[in-house]
Amino acid sequence: MTSIYWDETLDEIKKGITEIGHPFRFFTLATTDESDHPSQRTVVFRHFNDNLDVVFYTDRRSQKVKDIEKNGTVSLLFYHPKNLLQIGLKGKASIITDTDLLKTYWSTVPDSNKKDYTTHLAPGSPIENPGSVEYLNEHYFCAIKIEPTSIEYLKVRQPKHIRVLFSKTDGSWSGKFLAP
Domain segments of the chain as ranges? 3-178
CATH architecture, domain defined by 3-178: Roll (2.30)
pLDDT at 1 over 90: no
| Global confidence as pTM | 0.94
pLDDT digits (tens, 9 = 90+) for 7-41: 999 999 999 999 999 999 999 999 999 999 999 99
What's the start-to-end Cα distance of the chain, in Å? 17
pLDDT, mean of residues 110-122: 94
Q: Say if residues 165 and 150 touch (Cβ distance below 8 Å).
A: yes
pLDDT band at 4 (very low <50, low <70, confident <90, very high): very high
